[in-house]
């Protein structure tokens, strides 16, 4: 069985470890808060808001606009391909007629 002095030493060591861990945790929290503030400032500057809900709405709008533009580009490409095919067929018909 440990003596009172040994128990006291163990308690002091455990207490010191808790204090050290608390300091590390507080440092990490402070660092995370500073990082969050920097990111919010970047978002504010770049997008006019740091509100996650508004940012998510903006992203959805951008995705919808991108999808619209992609669809338009695909439609134009399909139209050009069809036109090209029709002209190619017309040239073949003319060549076969000669």
Give the tens place of pLDDT for each residue, 17-70: 999 999 999 999 999 999 999 999 999 999 999 999 999 999 999 999 999 999
Whether residues 71 and 86 share a domain: the answer is yes
Which whole number is the average pLDDT over 73-82?
98
Q: Are residues 41 and 77 in the same domain?
A: no
Q: 33 near 40, Cβ under 8 Å?
A: no
Q: What value, to the nearest 5°, has the Cα angle with vertex 85 and ends 82 and 88?
A: 150
Dist CA 48 CA 36 (whole Å): 16
Same domain, 41 and 72: no
The answer on 43 and 5 residing in a single domain is yes
Band (2; pLDDT cuts 50, 70, 90): confident
Give the domain-ending residue among 30, 49, 68: 49
Identify whether residues 38 and 55 lie together within a single domain: no
CB atoms near residue 43 (< 10 Å): 16
Domain count, the chain: 2
pLDDT the model gives residue 9: 96
Which pLDDT score is estimated for 98?
64
Same domain as 69, residue 94:
yes
The whole domain housing 90 covers 51-98
């Amino acid at each position: 069985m440990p003596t009172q002095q040994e128990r006291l030493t163990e308690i002091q060591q455990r207490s010191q470890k808790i204090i050290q861990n608390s300091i590390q945790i507080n440092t990490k929290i402070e660092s995370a808060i500073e990082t969050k503030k920097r990111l919010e400032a970047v978002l504010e500057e770049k997008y006019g808001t740091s509100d996650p809900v508004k940012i998510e709405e903006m992203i959805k709008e951008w995705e919808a606009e991108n999808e619209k533009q992609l669809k338009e580009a695909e439609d134009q490409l399909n139209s050009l391909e069809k036109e090209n095919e029709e002209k190619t067929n017309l040239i073949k018909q003319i060549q076969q007629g000669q």
